[in-house]
Amino acid sequence: MARLPGVPMRHAPLGTRLVYWFTGRALAKMSGGSSPDRAIEPLRMYAHLPGLLRGYGRLEQATAALHHVDDRHRALAELKAATMTGCEYCIDLGSEVARRLGLTNDELLALPRYRTSELFDDLDKLVLEYAAAMSRTPVAVTDELFDRLRDHFDPPQIVELTHVIALENMRGRFNRALGVAAAGFSQGGVCALPMSTSDGGAR
């Protein structure tokens, strides 16, 4: 159970109720089914500050419209970040989204050992390494790692990749601090495994 009560639909102003409704529809589309009851729990937290909720919603909409990075690499980057924050909600949703974008259950389970897994090619591993390095505390992106990234991605792609990893870290830390739990997006399916930021998938 979350550590704070979210703002329920019946007590929310009209603008907030519209955000709830449209976000529920978008999450249902992303996860391929009906939106679970707890799907909008993070928004119920943001709704305590309606102005912040509106700003956050615009940020998520702008992020969803980005398409410089291919779906596979974006899904890998976001899910790797989610596993490092240990956010149950993010891992639950991210695993289902990644699966619908073509990642296999075996790939989801192999994320902690991506460096040695034959399921990921060299570019996959580079993206995962960048996500892991960004998600450590403190951030551990070296010049050498960034130079390798530049060999494969142009500036808009690098900015998009960096943004989605950073945003996933924000989501995860927000949700974990407030006790937002998994919502059931991957119910009956495989989920990626959480891990500590100190490990980062170095195995």
Residues 100-110, mean pLDDT to the nearest whole number: 96
pLDDT at position 21 is 92
Residues 146-157, mean pLDDT to the nearest whole number: 98
Q: How many CA atoms lie within 13 A of 96 on its CB side?
A: 24
The reply to whether omega before 138 is within 30° of 0 (cis) is yes
pLDDT at position 142 is 98
Tokens of 95: 């695993």
* pLDDT tens track for 72-85: 999 999 999 999 99
* pLDDT tens track for 16-70: 999 999 999 888 888 877 667 789 999 999 999 999 999 999 999 999 999 999 9
| DSSP annotation string for 48-63 | TSHHHHHHHHHHHHHH
Residues 150-179, mean pLDDT to the nearest whole number: 98
Going by pLDDT thresholds of 50, 70 and 90, the confidence category of residue 196 is: low
- pLDDT higher at 203 or 104: 104
Q: What is the pTM of this model?
A: 0.93
Q: Which domains does the chain have, with CATH numbers?
A: 9-64 (no CATH), 71-178 (1.20.1290.10)
SS (H, E, C) 76-135: HHHHHHHHHHCCHHHHHHHHHHHHHCCCCHHHHHHHHHCCCCCCCCHHHHHHHHHHHHHH
pLDDT at position 125 is 98
Q: Rg (Cα) of the chain, in Å, rounded?
A: 17
Tokens 């289902």 belong to 96
Going by pLDDT thresholds of 50, 70 and 90, the confidence category of residue 127 is: very high
Tokens of 164: 């989605």
pLDDT at position 126 is 98
Kindly state the percentage of the chain with pLDDT values over 90. Answer: 87
